[in-house]
């Protein structure tokens, strides 16, 4: 068989592990041929590709980034994109395409699948918010990086007798905030799914100081929002000065909490360190399994599906199921964290 | 309510996180009283305990070891051990006991439960071989440590043009070997569940060198065994000199492979570093959830069960189900690793 | 002898290692008594202290923060501060005081020393800018944290085809920027000591993209400044909107470079993670040696000095020499980095 | 100019950083041409080399191992080796050779230099025992790996109430043992330079247990030896069974201490993990500086020297000075560690 692979969307630890695994399984065990498209869908649309053999994937298992490059180009962005993709698949004699990507990529995958292309998707997001799979690779690494940072920040917050508001990734869901906050013992966690009450947050942190503690750590998902009208900045994310560029929940909360508590409060924005670099062992194993099973699905002709972790098994889930809704954090998980507002 | 907690058996990253979580949930949310027995069952049998309040568990979330100490003493070891345990539970007015431990501990827990004691178990093993739960805390940390070591060993093996046989923990099951071997891209993995054929292993490594590669990494679970009669040492684990103390699969394999391949082969025994120190974020979250749910089970009166991860949920599983058989690695998982013999 | 110890100023990995080392050397080897003042000079001024024995320093070697607490209070802040300090030293029968702190602390130490108090200083700063010593503890940890972050950011910058401007600590000197930038292979490093030319920086990054590279990493010390008039924001650190709070060299540079290069540019501010948490082995060894030698200096009566690393030896340097000028990065070191502007 | 580079001897974190730095400085700044010999001196003797341009050293700064390969072949091993080397240098029109290696390599370098070849050496050893330089790259990484392992082992030793004897690298000198032991707070450190007294060691550990402590960690350099006649095994390193292969100070000490103390004692041999993998930031900076200065020395015609760190400066030291004697740990350093026997 002849299989095309591409990686699309933002960086995510484990992408190279998936590519390597696909090549190992397909080339060694099935004697398939594998080609990799450059820079995501762009490579498919422009027929920019190269052959992927064992040498091409040597030494990449533990490396961050993607040897195939990535872009945010989607087939629907170009007039006639879908037709062009179909044409190239036919020209290249491809029996299957395996796109590795996030929500947008999988929606495009579904569209192409509906248009008749033989597609097996591999879900990718550090945010862990793709439905149908228990976990996505990259998430464990992101949580690990955030937790290590929180561990370090704790001693600093304590020495400086401060409130630190640490902003972690998660525009739509609070998975990284929840896990890293739990792992590091944060004193409050605010997430997009549950608009927080600034009064409650103030009381919670204030109580902690009154109990004699010298510091507090608040973990805030970047998409966390206060309940409407409860803070000095409005819901649009603009601060009191109407300034947008430097907006961000951690900076806003630090201004607000400092005024309310009369304690120094400082924002820390972890940013892109959460999405790059060497994947954890967990993510490498998950990514490797996804790659292996994607090849198997191709050989079974099980197209229009994506690989998913369910319990300890990898199962195939219809693309349609994965792209309907984001997987948000269930209430039970917040209850367990005990410190979410 | 009044709850007694104890940790029993070998060290495992996450023990302190469970203890902290139990105290947080019980004391803060349920106004329970929690006491901790010293050195496992020994503390219960000798009525050696102390009160665990919030201060007692401050700052321990990320710390290895256990603040309660541990031992390998089991109630059945002492004449009248079960009766004595029952007596102390009554004297102390305990509504529940939460033992945190491995297979032996959970068997003892089952025995005490059958004898009428109100017990909720929390499974603990870095080996990941307790049935009923997808994963146990400590396993992810052990795999992470082993993988980091393997990452380092790869460049050394390559520079020295050697075969390295790296022995990881796992007396009865190959979970750590499988996951760390997959994560680090080992060239062969040998495990207890599937006695390996030394001839096949030699061919596999030999083929690699013939293909121009300069090194090979074999990951061996400490309990891995060759098929009967296939190596110079017999199944009892003694080497050709009849020497037992320094036995070990990695040393034996390095002797054998060096002679068969004519290449330098060296054993590396990772040992206890796999079971100590700071837990990964994954293990801290899992341990924290186990502690939370153990307290809930106590309040629901759901005794005779242990906490278990199933998919993304924590569920209660009968103690009997967990201690019947070890959870071995299913064949499918070996197939995915592609390099197991 | 009776020795008082205090830690003053911002958090710095290795503080606890110094305290532990002082207690070990003084109590075990010299049968001294050691007391620790709470929250820096504040504790001395308010006579707030506790005894430090071996148990008090058990398990703290690898822990971030300081068990003694810290503050930014200086004796000169209080009317009669110096007299009060002298009074408490006499009342407590102290033979020596060992303050562990940065530039401000050492200046205060010098003033108290000049006023007749028996003082041996231990220099502390993650910025590595105290004169008289080759290195200060905390610096290696800060560089390590920044380098690890840069390693991760590289794959992300590459995948996203961006310029990342990474702001590291260093208000007055570029040591952390220089070392982490060299260690991670940054493409440009800007530091406080040498105002950079934005045109040169633009050309350098632009050349890189023209050579076919897909990303660039600029490391900027927080105190780095453009040559006067060369950027859209003035030297006062205000941006074009006159907005100060969200100012910062990384954000300013990202705005400027994005407009000039026509490439996405993003700021990453590493912030407080650089100054907290577990110290590296290097910092623990240096901190331990500083503590040991401070006690020896006390016993030799060598007051008015601070511990300093010179080559591989710890020597005593007059406090006066250390607080005159900051230790800036010599030009030779920039030449070696090859990428400083 | 035309410069040849080679790496010789065992693996050492930072080798690739030196190679990269040489190429950057020589090619970019001096418009030199650089070639790399394959597998150390072997490549020079067999004229096996390739051109090293910027692309060849892209992305290798943080990678362990050496892209040039290594071997233990020395010119003196081959009849006419020196003449052959001279011939190839002439044939290739080389203006200089930069060998990067340990004691053996530098001795060979000196011999070739004495024979008239233009040589600038770069010292390499994780053991830190090359004279003339304060530190060698690779050492900091080795100490870091050993310290992290010791940190983990501490919680395990405590939980299991054991003596752990941890064997670290250092056949002739105790630098790694000293630094990692100090950094991790070991309770005894034994090194090759100072034969230890087993009775004293037993008393020291015994006292610790009598003081109520539950565990002890002994760090042993692999070359550490007991004073003659003081242990059950003789000085030749053979155990009581006359068995050599599995010999090793950690195993011998664990047998001896277990019998003498009546406490469980277990050996842990860290082995090759100490010499592979990603270098620390410290080692990357030092390696990069060595490479830069080696190229400068070539351009100044300062042959017959090696790069050396002295304080914060890189200086050139005659090869003769570096290979006379090993740099052993001075007594003062042991005194500071307080726990060496």
pLDDT of residue B324: 86
Rounded CA separation C337/C133 (Å) = 22
pLDDT tens figures, A159-182: 888 999 999 999 999 999 999 999
- What's the gap in Å between the CA of A238 and the closest CA on chain B? 33
Do B145 and D152 lie within an 8 Å CB cutoff? yes
Provide mean pLDDT across the span B89-112: 96
DSSP class of residue D278 equals: P
pLDDT of residue C340: 63
Neighbours of chain D (3+ CB pairs under 8 A): B, C
Task: Tell me if chain D has a CB within 8 Å of the CB of B27.
Answer: no
pLDDT of residue A243: 44
Neighbours of chain C (3+ CB pairs under 8 A): A, D
The verdict on whether A127 is a catalytic residue reads: yes
pLDDT tens figures, D180-231: 999 999 999 999 999 999 999 999 999 999 999 989 999 999 999 998 766 6
Rounded CA separation D276/D145 (Å) = 10
Nearest to B157 by CA among D70, C99, C25: D70
Task: Tell me if chain A has a CB within 8 Å of the CB of B212.
Answer: no
At C212, is the secondary structure helix, strand, or coil? coil
Which of the residues D159, D238, D259 would you substitute to probe the B interface, choosing the one with the greatest number of B C-beta atoms within 10 Å?
A: D159
Do B336 and A61 lie within an 8 Å CB cutoff? no
Q: Pairing mode, if any, of strands A49-51 and A33-37?
A: antiparallel
DSSP class of residue D303 equals: -
* B229 burial via Cβ count (<10 Å: 0-12, 13-18, 19+): exposed
- What's the gap in Å between the CA of A331 and the closest CA on chain C? 31
Which of the residues C64, C150, C183, C189 would you substitute to probe the D interface, choosing the one with the greatest number of D C-beta atoms within 10 Å?
A: C183
> Would you say A96 and A1 are in contact if contact means Cβ atoms under 8 Å apart?
yes
> Would you say D231 and D198 are in contact if contact means Cβ atoms under 8 Å apart?
yes
pLDDT of residue A340: 64
Residue A239 has pLDDT above 60, yes or no: no
Q: What is the pTM of this model?
A: 0.95
Tell me the chain B residues in contact with residue A143 when contact means C-beta distances shorter than 8 Å: 281-282, 285
* Banded model confidence at residue D74, pLDDT cuts 50, 70, 90: confident
- What's the gap in Å between the CA of D230 and the closest CA on chain C? 27
Neighbours of chain A (3+ CB pairs under 8 A): B, C
pLDDT of residue A161: 85
> Would you say D161 and D214 are in contact if contact means Cβ atoms under 8 Å apart?
yes
pLDDT of residue A244: 45
Q: Cite the annotated binding site of C by residue number.
A: 10, 72-73, 102-105, 125-127, 162, 169-171, 222, 266, 272-275
- What's the gap in Å between the CA of A9 and the closest CA on chain C? 8
User: Least CA distance to C294: which residue of chain D?
Assistant: D336
Nearest to C61 by CA among C18, C28, C21, C17: C17
Catalytic residue among B127, B129, B140, B239: B127
Residue B126 marked in a binding site: yes
Catalytic residue among A11, A32, A39, A127: A127
Provide mean pLDDT across the span B223-239: 68
Q: Where are the alpha helices (DSSP H) in D93-138?
A: 103-114
Of D243, D272, D277, the CB nearest to B151: D277
Which of the residues B215, B271, B274 would you substitute to probe the D interface, choosing the one with the greatest number of D C-beta atoms within 10 Å?
A: B271
What's the 3-state SS for D1-62? CEEEEEECCCCCCCHHHHHHHHHHHHHHHHCCEEEEECCCHHHHHCCCEEECCCHHHCCCCC
Looking at every residue in chain A, the average pLDDT score rounds to: 92
Partners of residue A167 on adjacent β-strands: A220, A269
Of B61, B310, B312, the CB nearest to A185: B61
DSSP class of residue B325 equals: S
| Domain map (residue ranges) of chain D | 2-138+279-323, 140-275
Rounded CA separation B185/B158 (Å) = 14
pLDDT tens figures, B135-156: 999 999 999 999 999 999 998 8
Q: Pairing mode, if any, of strands D49-51 and D33-37?
A: antiparallel
pLDDT tens figures, A100-147: 999 999 999 999 999 999 999 999 999 999 999 999 999 999 999 999
pLDDT tens figures, C288-305: 999 999 999 999 999 999
Residue B53 CB-half CA count within 13 A: 1
- What's the gap in Å between the CA of A299 and the closest CA on chain C? 30
Which of the residues C23, C54, C282 would you substitute to probe the D interface, choosing the one with the greatest number of D C-beta atoms within 10 Å?
A: C282
pLDDT tens figures, D241-293: 454 444 789 999 999 999 999 999 999 999 999 999 999 999 999 999 999 99
pLDDT of residue C341: 60
pLDDT of residue B73: 87
- Residue located via tokens 């905390």: C138
Task: Tell me if chain D has a CB within 8 Å of the CB of B273.
Answer: yes
Residue C246 has pLDDT above 80, yes or no: no
pLDDT tens figures, C80-111: 889 999 999 999 999 999 999 999 999 999 99
CATH number of C140-275: 3.40.50.460
Catalytic residue among D11, D32, D127, D129: D127
- What's the gap in Å between the CA of B180 and the closest CA on chain A? 7
ipTM of the complex in this document: 0.94
Neighbours of chain B (3+ CB pairs under 8 A): A, D
Task: Tell me if chain A has a CB within 8 Å of the CB of B173.
Answer: no
Do D182 and C310 lie within an 8 Å CB cutoff? no
Provide mean pLDDT across the span A183-212: 95
Proportion of chain B above pLDDT 70, given as a percent: 94
Alpha carbon distances (Å) from D278 to B149, B172, C216, D10, D85:
11, 33, 22, 15, 32
Rounded CA separation C177/C329 (Å) = 10
**Candidate from B77-86, D24-33, D99-108 with smallest mean pLDDT:** B77-86
Residue A241 has pLDDT above 50, yes or no: no
Tell me the chain B residues in contact with residue D164 when contact means C-beta distances shorter than 8 Å: 272
Sheet hosting strand D163-168, strand order edge to edge:
D188-190, D216-221, D163-168, D265-269
User: Least CA distance to D69: which residue of chain B?
Assistant: B159
> Would you say A42 and A48 are in contact if contact means Cβ atoms under 8 Å apart?
yes
User: Least CA distance to B281: which residue of chain A?
Assistant: A183
Return the H-helix or E-strand segment holding A335: helix A331-337
CATH architecture, domain A2-138+279-323: 3-Layer(aba) Sandwich (3.40)
> Would you say A26 and A54 are in contact if contact means Cβ atoms under 8 Å apart?
no
Tell me the chain A residues in contact with residue B338 when contact means C-beta distances shorter than 8 Å: 24-25, 28-29, 292
Rounded CA separation A265/A205 (Å) = 11
At C163, is the secondary structure helix, strand, or coil? strand
Task: Tell me if chain A has a CB within 8 Å of the CB of B134.
Answer: yes
Do D156 and B272 lie within an 8 Å CB cutoff? yes
Task: Tell me if chain A has a CB within 8 Å of the CB of B29.
Answer: yes
CB count in 10 Å sphere of residue A318: 15
> Would you say A118 and A93 are in contact if contact means Cβ atoms under 8 Å apart?
no
Task: Tell me if chain A has a CB within 8 Å of the CB of B151.
Answer: yes
> Would you say C20 and C291 are in contact if contact means Cβ atoms under 8 Å apart?
yes
Residue D7 marked in a binding site: no
User: Least CA distance to C247: which residue of chain A?
Assistant: A246
Residue A260 marked in a binding site: no
Q: Where are the alpha helices (DSSP H) in chain C?
A: 15-23, 30, 41-45, 81-91, 103-114, 139-160, 175-184, 198-210, 249-261, 281-300, 319-323, 331-337
pLDDT of residue C160: 80
């Amino acid at each position: 068989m002849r299989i095309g692979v591409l990686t699309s969307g933002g960086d995510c630890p484990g992408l190279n592990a998936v590519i390597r695994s696909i090549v190992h399984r397909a080339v060694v065990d099935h004697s398939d041929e594998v080609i990799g498209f450059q820079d995501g869908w762009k490579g498919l649309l422009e027929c920019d590709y190269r052959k992927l053999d064992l040498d091409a994937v040597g030494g990449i298992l533990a490396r961050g980034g993607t040897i195939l490059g990535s872009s945010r180009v989607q087939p629907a962005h170009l007039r006639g994109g879908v037709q062009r993709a179909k044409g190239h698949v036919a020209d290249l004699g491809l029996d299957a395409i395996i796109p590795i990507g996030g929500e947008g990529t999988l929606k495009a995958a579904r569209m192409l699948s509906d248009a008749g292309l033989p597609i097996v998707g591999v879900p990718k997001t550090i945010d862990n918010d793709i439905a149908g799979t228990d976990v996505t690779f990259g998430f464990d690494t992101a949580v690990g990086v955030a937790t290590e940072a929180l561990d370090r920040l704790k001693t600093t917050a304590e020495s400086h007798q401060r409130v630190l508001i640490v902003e972690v990734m998660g525009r739509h869901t609070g998975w990284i905030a929840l896990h890293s906050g739990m792992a590091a013992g944060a004193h409050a966690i605010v997430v997009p799914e549950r608009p927080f009450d600034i009064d409650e947050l103030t009381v919670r942190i204030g109580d902690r100081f009154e109990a004699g503690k010298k510091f507090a750590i608040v973990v805030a998902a970047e998409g966390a929002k206060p309940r409407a009208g409860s803070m000095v900045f409005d819901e649009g994310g603009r601060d009191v000065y109407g300034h947008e560029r430097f907006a961000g929940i951690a900076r806003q909360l630090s201004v607000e909490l400092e005024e309310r508590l009369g304690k120094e409060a400082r924002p820390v924005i972890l940013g892109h360190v959460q999405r790059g670099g060497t994947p954890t062992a967990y993510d490498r194993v998950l990514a490797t399994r996804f790659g292996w099973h994607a090849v198997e699905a191709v050989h079974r002709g099980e197209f229009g599906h994506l690989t998913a972790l369910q319990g300890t098994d990898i199962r195939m889930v219809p693309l349609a199921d994965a792209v309907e809704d984001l997987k948000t954090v269930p209430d039970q998980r917040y209850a367990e964290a005990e410190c979410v507002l």
